[in-house]
Structure 1
């Protein structure tokens, strides 16, 4: 007798937030060790890529001197390679070499204090992007720094973690699932009866959560970057946690949010960050050239930070 598919839900702590896995499977997935394997997958990502753990593989790489080859775990090497390629394709709009800026503006593991001395956001400092600072040895899975750089993977690691959750479910034979970490999502198979998963796109407002729209998703990933959850305000200007590598400061005049639909959540996560930095003009043109489907949610000129927004899709270019 073939058992019916049952809706099951697992969740757990990871990367300072929580992951969720909603899926349909036959029988008790707990007995198969699926919950254990899901937690182990995101724990491995966090252990390798966190800037909050001094002994993570990423932080050891940050401390390594220039010119020295460093052997990397497979997962971290995969993320570094993808990050540098997207950095190159976006001409530095996505740059994992902004760890020093993240720390200087109080967004990193060292929280901002009341007497924090802020950098000058109006001073543009030429920076060498990470894809020009790192050399990868794919054959031996090694990395070396060609110049001093502090890496931060906050714009791609959660997306990769979502992909790892998806890989665990597929390895267990699960064909219908929706997995997420902090709003980055990946789906497969739709629901067993044939309907797609319905994914809410948040309204870019602070202080409460509301739905801007809904995406129907059967296969693929959705990732969003925005400035409405993590930001600082200085001299009446809101600075989001996304760094603008072109100016060496947090993004202050970008869209409210960018949502990207992609094959993998790792790619969607990084591209959403790059397109947020580039904005709806240049960003939408680049997305169109790269075959990326993106939705830009922009504030209307002269409105308050949480006022009505306008929309632009990369499909319009």
Structure 2
């Protein structure tokens, strides 16, 4: 569904839990699982419940909600609400649904807080560098092309008032992929709780929301993948408690030209791919949507800049940095309690 969802290359997070087949509602002692596809990726829901839950009804509610989010925010559906706004050639206000308004409001809050490091209008730059829907490029764009594209990019060219969004530059386009998957996770979690389920794990393409525990009174555990392309290995196992979890990394999606490695993660402040050695950032936050946005923003920043930002705003973040002989981890103050064995 989302161009940046694929570009962003979220790190695979493996749930360390017993997997059982889907079946009609069962007692609490069995872990139930639902699977499906959405937003150009997959979703998995694992839960325990001490009440009878109709699996078919639950999955239908989840699929309907995720389909609605696609209809509102997809950049791959020409008639989605977001794409209709992007085609809106006037600077007059465009009416948004409540769901799109909520996600847009959080995107703009994060953009302001990060001083533009997270910017949902960078889609044209993503395309220019060959990481969008039009596919890869063979050579890096010129400084002139970058400057011309940056002229139609910038969150400060957007104004959200009540449920109306307007843009000061008619060509401006919005892509909410940096936080939309996380929002979808939060919405699915809400559906589970509406059905009386309070012990669950929801994942959409690597973004997660976790609550409660397994039937054996043991906590959910997740494993963060080691950021290497040659193997699937575990960097660290976490016990997060009731949290949203999002990880952003750049070690799988890039191109090389003349010995220079160009990451898919672009810094809106320069219009160019990041050049530092941060390879992944994992963020824990009660809202998976917010964790989703922070993970991307902190990965765009340098490691020192990201750590300082996370500590300033009390964000639980784990930053993995490539060194000459391996990797090193930087944990924000809010993340350190989760590192205890």
When normalised by structure 1's length, the TM-score is 0.89
Partner of 2:141: 119
Distance 1:199 1:164 in 2: 21
Q: Structure 1: any 5+ residue segments left out of the alignment?
A: none
Residue 105 (1) aligns with residue 123 (2): no
CA contact (8 A) 1:65 1:145 kept: no
Deviation of the 1:240 alpha carbon: 2.3
**Which structure has more RCO (C-alpha within 8 Å, separation ≥ 6)?**
2
Q: How many residue pairs get matched? A: 306
Deviation of the 1:78 alpha carbon: 0.9
Give SS of 1:315's match: coil
Distance 1:235 1:53, change over 3 A: farther
Distance 1:282 1:216 in 2: 26
CA contact (8 A) 1:22 1:179 kept: yes
Distance 1:13 1:173, change over 3 A: same
Partner of 2:93: 69
When normalised by structure 2's length, the TM-score is 0.83
CA contact (8 A) 2:263 2:273 kept: yes
Residue 29 (1) aligns with residue 54 (2): yes
Bigger shift: 256-265 or 206-215? 206-215
Partner of 1:312: 330
Give CA deviations for 1:226-254 in whole Å, capped at 9, x if unaligned.
Answer: 10232222222222222210110222324
Q: Structure 2: any 5+ residue segments left out of the alignment?
A: 1-25, 337-341
Distance 1:247 1:274, change over 3 A: same
CA contact (8 A) 2:277 2:322 kept: no
Residue 172 (1) aligns with residue 190 (2): no
The match for 1:231 among 254, 258, 271 is 254
CA contact (8 A) 2:125 2:146 kept: no
Residue 50 (1) aligns with residue 68 (2): no
Deviation of the 1:3 alpha carbon: 4.8
The match for 2:180 among 151, 157, 160 is 157
CA RMSD, 1 decimal:
2.3
Distance 1:19 1:247 in 2: 34
Deviation of the 1:134 alpha carbon: 0.9
Partner of 1:14: 38
Distance 2:81 2:258 in 1: 38
Distance 2:123 2:272 in 1: 11
Partner of 2:4: none
Give SS of 1:94's match: coil
CA contact (8 A) 1:221 1:268 kept: yes
Distance 1:51 1:118, change over 3 A: farther
* Correspondence 1:197-212 to 2 at 5 A: 197-212=220-235
Partner of 1:250: 273
Give SS of 1:224's match: strand
Distance 2:318 2:328 in 1: 10
